[in-house]
Amino acid sequence: MTTTTHSGGDGAGIVRRTVLPGGLRVVTESMPAVRSVAVGMWVGIGSRDEAPEHMGASHFLEHLLFKGTPTRDALEISAAIEGIGGEINAFTAKEYTCYYARVLDEDLRVAIDVLADVVTSSLITPEDVEAERGVILEEIAMHDDDPSDVVHEQFSAELYGDTPVGRPILGTVESINAVSRDRIAEYYRRYYLPTHTVVSVAGNVDHDRVVALVAAAYERAGALGGDARPVSPRVSGPGVDVRSGVRVLHRPTEQANLVLGMTGLTRTDERRFALGVFNAAFGGGMSSRLFQEIREKRGLAYSAYSYTSAYADTGQFGVYVGCLPSKIDDVLKICHEEIHRVIAEGITEEEIVRGKGQMRGGLVLGLEDTGSRMSRIGKGELVFDEQLSVDEVLARIEAVTPEEIAAVTRDVLGRPLTLAVIGPYEDRDFGWALNL
């Protein structure tokens, strides 16, 4: 059992880390001024670890973990947390899955016990699999009714093709109907191991007490012990096959939804801070170029923004706009103009100052929330070799130079474009939009 400590900085607490026998990692951040505590259990497995024929299994499994263990049925799991006024939930991403709860600090033990129970001891009964299959199909249908959600998935599918990172996290109606109970249970046994798990806790807590509670809960489940070491952060994945193309999905919606973008930076790319400052100025808020050009000046959209996302070995930079179907040509032309302009001319000194202020303030303001801090340290432990303190992140943002921003803008925004569109377009060709 090893414990290390990062010193806390301005406004940030002290982060401590312990590795328990068997390779289970526990990270905590103390926030003595709050009364709540957020507990997360992060498993380094997500939809990109699935074979095509069991697409959606990671997310299906996430649902099944709330259905029952030898000591708690579904009602007892949710009632244990909700009855004390807390919340419990989970989400599945492409590279990890997170189970979390937020409760009053005096209820820390309950949150740890319930989460450890579901993560280590899920029954995954055939009856629960069948009932939950219906729920997943409902979730897929709900998702399909949200065009702003679907367009991002279509963009990933076009950019990455039919590869693990390009496929939908929820799976498809076909894959969910096809996947068997045994396949999901096998996936659970194979990957939900202490070596693949990080427990992160932020709030009014003491590190040693958290470690003791987690160790006791895992011990009861027979999941502690041995000399296995934590798995290293994922550095690559199978089949990232980047393409450039156009995907148009016909839907009788009131608005067209589009994502225009390209590959971005990997999660550990040192240039990510420079791209972050650029993104804030380009499409990160109401004062950004995209918002000003598309919405403030011309009233062409309600929602218009740019974003970055990052995985172990690839990333995305994209622009999202929702607009009336008749406005899409104008919107696409503006997006192109703005992309070409920043490649050629960069952004202004004033925009850089504002972009840095936006990133800095967003980080500091986000730190008042136990859930945000729990996520930062939990995800950080799982996906980074070395976790940066808040002060280090702030210093990296501050250190970004205009030259670095110009260089990363030229590199990333100069990459081949991909476009996804959803809207009432029976057979319109948007190929022109890649070659303006």
Within positions 61 to 80, which residues make up the interface with a second copy, using CB under 8 A?
66-67, 74-75, 78-79
Q: Residue 133 interacts with a second copy (CB under 8 A)?
A: yes
Assess contact for 416 and 316: CB atoms under 8 A.
no
Contact between 332 and 433 (Cβ < 8 Å): yes
Write down the least CB distance from residue 348 to a second copy, Å. 12
Q: How many residues bind a second copy (CB under 8 A)?
A: 74
* HSE-CB of 383 using CA atoms within 13 angstroms: 24
Check if 62 is active-site. Answer: yes
Which residues from 323-342 bind a second copy, rule CB under 8 A?
323-324
Residues 6+ apart with CB under 8 A from 276: 308, 355, 359, 397
Q: What phi-psi label fits residue 133: left (phi over 0), alpha (psi between -120 and 50 degrees) or beta?
A: alpha
Task: Name the residue nearer to a second copy (CB basis): 161 or 285.
Answer: 285
Alpha carbon distance 179, 358 (integer Å):
44
Near a second copy by CB under 8 A: residue from 22, 40, 46, 147: 147
Q: Which is nearer to a second copy, 297 or 340 (CB)?
A: 297
Phi, psi of 227 (to 5 degrees): -115, 20
**Subset of residues 29 to 48 that bind a second copy, contact rule: CB under 8 A:** 33-36
CA-CA distance, 242 to 238, in Å (whole number)? Answer: 12
Please identify which residue in 52, 83, 416, 431 interacts with a second copy, judged by CB under 8 A. Answer: 83
β-bridge pairing 246-250 and 97-104: unpaired
Single residue of 71, 91, 146, 226 touching a second copy by CB under 8 A: 146
CB-nearer residue toward a second copy: 216 or 363: 363
Binding of a second copy by 399 (CB under 8 A): no
Residue 304 near residue 320, CB atoms below 8 Å: yes
Site for a second copy in 290-309 (CB under 8 A): 291-292, 295-303
Count of helices and strands (H, E) across the chain: 15, 12
**Of residues 268 and 292, the one with the C-beta less far from a second copy:** 292
Angle between helix 328-345 and 272-283 (nearest 10): 130
Among the listed ranges 13-21, 48-56, 138-146, 217-225, the one in contact with a second copy (CB under 8 A) is: 138-146
105 binds a second copy (CB under 8 A): no
| Site residues (CB under 8 A) for a second copy, limited to 220-279 | 252-255
- In whole angstroms, the minimum distance from the beta carbon of 191 to a second copy comes to 24
User: Given 50, 62, 338, 381, which residue is catalytic?
Assistant: 62
Residues assigned a catalytic role? 62
